[in-house]
Structure 1
Amino acid sequence: MNTDSLIRDALTTAGHTVTDADVSHPHSALALNLGYLPGEIWISDHDGHTLYEPDEHTGLWARYYPVPADGGRWTDIYTSTETDLTADIAGLLAALAATKNPASPQIAAQLANRADRLSTVVQQAAKGGPDTECLYAAAADRLRAQLERITLRAIADNTRRSEAARAASK
């Protein structure tokens, strides 16, 4: 099995829906949509590849793109130079889990609150008529923007905590 299949299988087993990223360069990447966030998380090696043999593995890179089509703005979620593919996939899965379940209780509460509010707004929009459609769309857009900012804070906080833990273990 190649790394693309192994990573895709691990992500699917962890409950993620994986597609191929629509990248603007000739390389491949796996794409995840977290559902509550606009954009995608792209996963590849540092050269933008996923199709190679496990013994050629030199690390993974997972990036959150709020607007995947422009490809110019991203936030690193996970980056490694780990040559052990199994250990690297475990690190990737932990980093992805942390974006949904931040280590900071305050950030986790904010994320849960905005996700719940967005769900309520979307449900109300489905029940409402054409007069309220614009109102609900604007509220949903504001909540998605807030969720993006909170998730970016969670990624930064989790990265900081992870780096501190690695430094402390050395």
Structure 2
Amino acid sequence: MSEKPAARLCSVTLDEASIGHASADIEHERATAIWDLIEENSFFPMGDPGQGPYTLHISLMDNRLVLDIKREGGEQVVQHHLSLTPFRKVVKDYFLVCESYYNAIRSASPSQIEAIDMGRRGLHNEGSTLLQERLGGKVDVDFDTARRLFTLICALHWKG
């Protein structure tokens, strides 16, 4: 087995105080998003002279996403605050399409389900690209890592 690169996340935690407890289904979605993110990612805080892997603690504060990045040993690297406002529309649209998708699975034809799923994936890609842009100059992530982080951001907002 090959060794994982150092420019990556080895741990992602959520701040229970700011994010709050959720239903079992939502907690499962969050845990899955974190597992997927840790399993495969490319994550490098720009300008960091040190070396990862990194830990990421995510919290919400004043309508901002707080990304607290440390080294695996606990040494502080950087903390970024991203406004959630630019994500509102794409997250809202993503949830609407996801709801349509889950409803369609019960009664729609395969071609209708496929069309809705294509829209869902398109919105997910749009959110991932937006996240990559918002992290530009702060944290270098590849597109797949941005997709996994966007999934987690959505899971933080999912009301069930």
Q: TM-score, normalised by structure 2?
A: 0.40
Larger RCO (CA within 8 A; separation ≥ 6): 2
Higher strand share: 2
Whichever of the two has the greater Rg, that structure is 1
